[in-house]
Amino acid sequence: MGGTDQVRGIRRLPAADNAGDTRNHLPVEAVINLDQGDPTMYEAFWRKLEYECTFVIKGYESLSYFSNPKNPCWFLEPKLEESIKSLHGAVGNAETDGYSIVVGTGSSQLLQAVLYAVTSRDQTNPINVVSAAPYYSTYMEITELVRSGLYKWAGDAHEFDRDEPYVEVVTSPNNPNGVIRGAVVNREGGILVHDLAYYWPQYTPITSSLDFDIMLFTASKCTGHAGSRIGWALVKDKEVAKRMTKFMEVSTIGVSKESQLRVAKILQVVADRCKRFGSPEGDDFFEFGKSVLTKRWEMLREAVKKTNMFTLPKYPLQHCTYTGDVTQAHPAFAWIGCNDGMEDCEKLFRNHKVLTRGGRKFGSDPGFVRVSMVGREEEFIVFIERLASMKQMVNTNGDDAAANEKGNLA
């Protein structure tokens, strides 16, 4: 899950024609918004497949609430179910045999459906929801949104020591810091939800096909179609899947048919062109994503090194079963630590007209910020340029020129 905050007052940029040299569009004083993980980086790839991926629906199609009344998840389009299975099979990142698939309006809604599904109206106290800090800032917002009596936010899983029932959200790779994670609390009766939004080959080496009880994915981070609001859950327990479906039924009476059908088409295109099936060079979506992110991470590490002001996580080299390469992670977000003495890293960036999300929102230190790596090329380049200019300005002002590496966050 990527999340988004209010963006009032922020000037948006015209769509780039490609991910290449479009800097000229951007005024020198433009505010660069890297707060949200808006995955517009992928536009360039999808422009190349204009015809294969065009989705057409006639005025009389999909009027009904129902997609497949034979499926307990009666609003799931059969084509989407099929292409989700194809894609996981092609990538090898998650098992689907024996799982129920529940579709959601993004994976945020699916997390709420899980919380509803694993709790009971009869329980006396709300169940604790935890996640290891730094955690995705939206988990807390979701859990606390309407002050539910079924569940409550209990913060950092590392600090959870109550002898009470709990749900732990395990985000792997983690948002914000890209780290591969496992459960932290590990107590009997705990319920685990694996948010695997970023467990795709462009972001991290795929090391095994996962088979956890509840796994969440989203089109936003897989293919970049954030505007479609399509997430899916792979759920082992049929009763949990049914209760999740009930939540979606009351909450939104299902999920947009147009989005489901379009995403079905796109996921199938991605699955059919996977390199492991001998697809021609340039056709593999994940190769494209990985190559852009690899380049961006190199530029970022280079700039950070020169400034001597910031730290970045390091990721281990691992064999990726999808690409066949030994590679490190190139996450969708950079988790940037400011060196000692700079207390509010978000403010520092804001002063340079770069919007980031400060560490406190992730249950962490304000000396960190999360920066989106998946936005438009022109914005990313300006961000890198400003990183360099920050060095000069800070050095000139003598604010902080210390250069202590904060160590390996991974």
Do you find a cis peptide bond into 165, omega within 30 degrees of 0? no
- Taking the C-alpha atoms of residue 183 and residue 98, their distance in angstroms, rounded to an integer, is 23
Judged by CB, which is closer to a second copy: 309, or 355? 355
Longest dimension (CA), the chain: 68
Judged by CB, which is closer to a second copy: 115, or 336? 115
Axis crossing angle, helix 238-252 with helix 106-117, rounded to the nearest 10: 120
Say if strands 166-171 and 32-33 run parallel, antiparallel, or are unpaired: unpaired
Q: Nearest approach, Cβ of 52 to a second copy (angstroms)?
A: 7
Q: Nearest approach, Cβ of 361 to a second copy (angstroms)?
A: 13
Judged by CB, which is closer to a second copy: 218, or 323? 218
Q: Nearest approach, Cβ of 129 to a second copy (angstroms)?
A: 12
Q: Nearest approach, Cβ of 2 to a second copy (angstroms)?
A: 8
Say if strands 326-327 and 354-355 run parallel, antiparallel, or are unpaired: unpaired
Q: Nearest approach, Cβ of 385 to a second copy (angstroms)?
A: 23
In the block, tokens 């899916």 appear at: 232
Q: DSSP per residue over 307-343, as a string?
A: HTSEE------EE-TTT-SEE----SEEEEEEPTT--
Judged by CB, which is closer to a second copy: 291, or 318? 291
Q: Nearest approach, Cβ of 136 to a second copy (angstroms)?
A: 12
CA count, 13 A, side-chain hemisphere, 137: 19
Judged by CB, which is closer to a second copy: 104, or 155? 104
Judged by CB, which is closer to a second copy: 121, or 281? 121
Q: Nearest approach, Cβ of 306 to a second copy (angstroms)?
A: 31
Alpha carbon distance, N-terminus to C-terminus of the chain: 20
Judged by CB, which is closer to a second copy: 194, or 257? 257
The tokens for 39 are 């995955």
Do you find a cis peptide bond into 72, omega within 30 degrees of 0? no
Judged by CB, which is closer to a second copy: 28, or 250? 250
168: helix, strand or coil: strand
Q: Nearest approach, Cβ of 269 to a second copy (angstroms)?
A: 8
Say if strands 333-338 and 368-372 run parallel, antiparallel, or are unpaired: antiparallel
